[in-house]
Structure 1
Amino acid sequence: MDREKLSDKLADIVPEKVTTVRNNGSCKGCPRHSTKLHVYDWLHDYPEMQDLTNMVEVQFKNTRKGYYLNSNKIDLNKGDIVAVEASPGHDIGTVTLTGKLVEIQMRKNNYREDSISGPKRVYRIARPADMEKYELAKAKEEPTMIRAREIAEGLGLNMKIGDVEYQGDGSKAIFYYIADERVDFRQLIKDFAAEFRVKIEMKQIGARQEAGRIGGVGPCGRELCCSSWMSSFVSVSTSAARYQDISFNPQKLAGQCGKLKCCMNYEVDAYVEASRKLPSREIVLQTRDCDYYHFKTDILSGQITYSTDKNNPVNLETISKERAFQIIEWNKKGKKPPRLAPETETSDVKEGDIHNDLLGDQSITRFDKKEAGGATKRRKSRKGRRPDNRNKKGRPPKQNEN
């Protein structure tokens, strides 16, 4: 009999020590094993919420997750390593979410169970025999990926194999690949099955999904959105950069996947809404001195900068959008203001006014007392003054004796 099958039979007869990884190294709402597609369990302090459903969320390698039914009523906590149902055999994953939030995540990710067999089940908490198989299967992933790339290149296929993931029991391997066009990999699957002796599954992913599986840190200093929380990817166009007045620099607009950054879509709706409340950039503001042309706009703050030259920054003036609308209304009536900026902005600032200038407010002379006339008192010379506590002879005054 095979050694692995024998160990499984003995495990069913002799109770083995349960092996698991509890979530003791972090807060109760955070999973410990991985930060990819992390979901904070903000209902972990409510025990009644944990018993509302038997479904649990299990995470596998990188960003692959699945939802399984805890039909055996096993006491599962975040961080437990479990054996779950797979086709064929079983898989090994880590519990990342339990309770009511699992149903919310299932609706968010458009989870659909099999109409014939129903939801897949959680078999048990992983035993040492399961973990031994799991470690042996994971050790094959790197050499398998290198060999798979060599086979694909030998067949002349225009595709890139980005990652290989073995099932927990080693009976199946998932090959993640990227291709710009449709690839006929029927012969490739036959060569893979003959080479690796496992069931083969080919899964096509995009450049953003590949970046999420690999992980990394973005230019903002935080972990990549596609690796930490984003599961559905929307198309990003250059119009999002145009609405936000971002310079069209390919090195700054592109992320680690080589595509446009997903974060460009986060605030584009706010910019579009704010730009509707601004005057048109084609309108020329007329004053008594000269005409002003649009130069640049700070959309969120509503500050608009105008120039006296149409193509070059000359005599730049920055005004608010309210002032711009006011001048436009005057120009329609045939009126021209004396200057672009309002009178209050061009008036001289008084010496005692404070305008939140950190350096100016912290002057070292701010505590000095000034005289009414503006001149400070001069101390008398030592020759012309007499101390108050001495008499004419220079002796201290006598004290009254009681």
Structure 2
Amino acid sequence: MGCSSCSTGKDGQPKGCKNNGTCGTDGCNKLTVFDWLSNMSPPNGQEQFNCVEVRFKNSRKEFFRNSEKLSLSIGDVVATQAKSGHDVGMVTLTGELVRVQMTKKKIDYKDPELPKLYRKASQKDIDIWQKCRNKEEEIKKRAREIAIVLKLQMKISDVEFQGDGSKATFYYTAEDRVDFRQLIKDMAKAFSIRIEMRQIGYRQEAQRLGGIGSCGRELCCSTWLTDFRSVSTAAARYQQLSLNPQKLAGQCGKLKCCLNYELDMYLDALKDFPSNDSKLQTEKGLAFCQKSDIFKETLWFSYRNDPATWHTLKKEQVLEILEKNKKGEKVESLEDYSEDNVVEEKKVFENVVGQDSLTRFDQPKRRRNKNKNKNRRNKKKKPVKNE
């Protein structure tokens, strides 16, 4: 998600809108938080919160302590502390909203072991960082080839270099446990760098790589969704969706996260709704439920002897019949109830002018009289007699 004029330059800075990551739509980066406190100064005597949020490749974000009290703004490229060496990332959030995000993610901002932010990245840091980023695709391809040669049941989905180029993290997905000790030895020998392997789930892989969903929009997990809740097939059953794995599965191969978006609304509507297994006892015979519409509060029933003929009943009518059946009473027939639900269709459009044809303004094609044309040609050809 990005603004219409925003693109990324060689140094990692947005170069289209030239607003350093704070364009009007606030969509230059993935999973961004709109800093609505950016134009507000802290109260008198209160210092600005000394932690910042830094984004690295794709959606990986970490928090760092600004111990040097540098003046930072969203979009600045900074050098941060790493386990060995330093890393380079982009500032995505500053100020009091960082405290809110750290509290939300259960990170103690008073922890003395919180990694530090060293400095604003120099041009040399940016050049090394960009050079490493340009090598990632080639190294990922070669790493996949090495894994295939070793016959490992794994998929290397992404590679991320550290800012100083001393270490590379390989993200992979696998069904079972994988022994990749020989793989690390071969890759360290081929690339001459320190290797770190990190296994991620299929949803985390889709979040990192991004893509376009079946709805035509960017994936929710790569734009705004921060937590992955479990999705079960019961969510599809409650919403009366066909259990087709090709339609219900997303790009990650798991059930779509959007199946949970409207689930609460369906569960509220189903609290006092008759079950699809309901059976109505009538004098004409036993009736079974064939179809139901939750929001229109309508159910369709048919007799056991005549399953092709459906009778439309309202939710209140079905509950009334079920209550009578519990008392041992039978209704006469479903037709008595379904006749009350017949509604005459009203005309939405009435033609006042009386002209229905869409081609009424078109001029009709004139038929040419071939005989008249022939006579005219013959008259022109006749020679004139000289007296």
Shift of 1:331: 3.5
Q: Distance in 2 between matches of 1:231 and 1:42?
A: 20
Structure 2 residue aligned with 1:305: 300
Task: Give the Cα–Cα distance (whole angstroms) in 2 for the partners of residues 246 and 79 of structure 1.
Answer: 44
Q: Which residue of 2 aligns with 1:72?
A: 68
1:337–1:94 Cα change, 3 Å: farther
Is 1:165–2:156 an aligned residue pair?
no
- Note the alpha carbon deviations across 1:273-309, whole angstroms, 9 max, x for none: 3223112333322455554321122234432222234
Query: Residue 261 of structure 1: CA displacement?
Result: 1.1
Q: Is 1:46 equivalent to 2:40 in the alignment?
A: yes
**Residue 259 and residue 43 in structure 1: after superposition, are their counterparts in 2 closer, same or farther (change >3 A)?**
same
Correspondence list, 1:234-245, <5 A = 234-245=229-240
**In structure 2, C-alpha distance between the alignment counterparts of 1:178 and 1:154, rounded to whole Å:** 17
SS, match of residue 215 in structure 2? coil
Structure-1 residue corresponding to 2:169? 174
CA-CA distance at 1:179 after TM superposition: 1.2
Is residue 356 of structure 2 the alignment partner of residue 365 of structure 1? Answer: no
2:235 and 2:22 mapped to 1: Cα distance?
38
Q: TM-score of the superposition, structure 1-length normalised?
A: 0.74
**TM-score with structure 2 length normalisation?**
0.77
- The CA deviation at 1:190 is 2.4
Matched, 1:257 2:252: yes
Residues 132-141 or 320-329, more deviating:
320-329
Is 1:317 aligned to 2:316, yes or no? no
Corresponding position of 1:97: 93
- For residues 309 and 24 of structure 1, do their structure 2 counterparts lie closer, same or farther at Cα, with a shift above 3 Å needed? farther
**CA shift in 2, pair 1:247/1:342, >3 Å:** closer
**Change in 2 beyond 3 A, CA 1:75/1:193:** same
With over 3 angstroms needed to count, the CA separation of the structure-2 counterparts of 1:274 and 1:192, relative to structure 1, is: same
Is the CA contact 2:79–2:119 (under 8 Å) kept in the aligned structure 1? yes
Q: Deviations over 1:1-21 (max 9, x none)?
A: xxxxxxxxxxxxxxxxx9966
Q: For residue 322 of structure 1, report the CA deviation from its aligned partner.
A: 1.7
SS of residue paired to 1:209: helix
**Quick check: 1:293–1:308 contact (8 Å CA) kept in 2?**
yes
3-state DSSP class of the match of 1:82?
A: strand
Structure 1 79/337 Cα, relative in aligned 2: closer, same or farther at 3 Å? farther
Number of residue pairs aligned between Structure 1 and Structure 2: 337
Do the aligned partners of 2:13 and 2:21 also contact (CA within 8 Å) in 1? no
**Structure 1 residue 199 displacement after superposition:** 1.9
For residue 150 of structure 1, give the secondary structure of its aligned residue in structure 2: helix
Which digits, 9 at most, give the CA deviation of each residue in 1:175-217, with x for residues without a partner?
0011111122223222222222222111101111111111111
Amino acid at match of 1:37: L
Percent of aligned pairs with the same amino acid: 48
Which residue of the partner structure matches residue 384 of structure 1? none
* 1:293 matched to 2:265: no
Give the whole-Å Cα distance in 2 for the aligned partners of 1:51 and 1:311.
78
CA-to-partner distance for each residue in 1:39-95, whole Å, 9 max, x for gaps? 233444433399652211111111211111122222222222222122222211111
Structure with larger Rg: 1
Tell me the C-alpha RMSD between the 2 structures.
Answer: 3.1
Question: Which of these residues, 316, 324, 328, is aligned with residue 330 of structure 1?
Answer: 324
In the alignment, the residues of structure 1 paired with residue 50 and residue 305 of structure 2 have an alpha-carbon distance, to the nearest angstrom, of 67
Could you tell me whether the CA contact under 8 Å between 1:20 and 1:126 is conserved in 2? Answer: no
Q: What corresponds to 2:102 in structure 1?
A: 106
Distance 1:226 1:151, change over 3 A: same
Gaps of 5+ in 1: 1-17, 350-354, 367-402
Amino acid of the residue matched to residue 111 of structure 1? I
Q: Which amino acid aligns with 2:216?
A: G
* Distance change (3 Å), C-alpha of 1:320 and 1:211: same
What SS does the aligned partner of 1:76 have? coil
Tell me how far 1:254 sits from its aligned partner.
0.9
After superposition, the Cα gap between the structure-2 partners of 1:104 and 1:114, relative to the gap in structure 1 and judged at 3 Å, is closer
Q: Which one of the candidate residues 211, 215, 226 is aligned to 1:216? A: 211
Per-residue deviation, residues 351-389 of structure 1 (Å, max 9, x unmatched): xxxx8x6xx3442339xxxxxxxxxxxxxxxxxxxxxxx
1:25 to partner: Cα distance: 7.1
Q: Partners of 1:233 and 1:20 in 2: how far apart?
A: 30
Closer, same or farther: CA 231–25 of 1 in aligned 2, 3 Å: closer
CA shift for structure 1 position 24: 5.6
